[in-house]
Amino acid sequence: MPIEVNTDEAPALIRIRCAGPVPLPEEQARVRDDLVAKGLLTKDSVSLLDLRDVEVPRDPSLILGTIAEALRTGMPKRRALLINPGLHLRLLQQFQAAAPSMSTAAFIDEREAIAWLLNPEGAAGFHR
């Protein structure tokens, strides 16, 4: 399945959904570069990535490619991931370790993820 992007709230918020195999880093780069070129993804954008239906790759180089692609542009700096904890927690931990300059948090509830994205002073989905 290709990467689905909802830009209704862009450039403030980009919603991205993937399902099936992890999109290749080249596909991720094409989508990101297109969003940047159109002014829909900026240094101030935040993103909600729905990965709940993404298959865990057997080849770890796909995840390394995804991390490298995210680091290439450094945007967005703040991202919330909707994950299936039983499948994706290890992948998220790898991403967070490799990209500490980006604020990334995982959620199972979309409302909590949006609240965290829009409340940069709050802690991982909970208001202070």
Contact of 115 with 127, CB cutoff 8 Å: yes
Owning domain of residue 49: 4-118
Closest CA to 67 of 25, 35, 14: 25
Q: pLDDT of 56-81, one tens digit each?
A: 877 767 777 777 777 777 788 889 99
Domain assignment of residue 128, yes or no = no
Instruction: List the single range of 4-13, 21-30, 38-47, 68-77 with lowest mean pLDDT.
Output: 68-77
Residue 48 contacts by C-beta under 8 Å, 6 or more apart in sequence? 13, 14, 15, 16, 79, 80, 82, 110, 113, 114, 117
Nearest to 10, CA basis, from 45, 50, 59: 45
Mean of the per-residue pLDDT values of the chain: 84
Per the domain annotation, does 126 fall within a domain? no
Answer yes or no: is 123 within a domain: no
Structural domain total, the chain? 1
Check which CATH number belongs to the domain holding 75 and give it: 3.30.750
Q: How confident is the model at residue 11 (pLDDT cuts 50, 70, 90)?
A: very high
103-108: average pLDDT = 90
Whether residue 46 lies inside any domain: the answer is yes
Does residue 128 have a pLDDT over 50? no
Is 110 domain-assigned? yes
Give the separation between CA 8 and CA 50, rounded to whole angstroms: 16
Among 53, 52, 1, 49, residue whose Cα is nearest residue 23 = 1
- Of 100 and 41, the one with more pLDDT: 41
125 in a structural domain? no
Quote the pLDDT of residue 111: 95
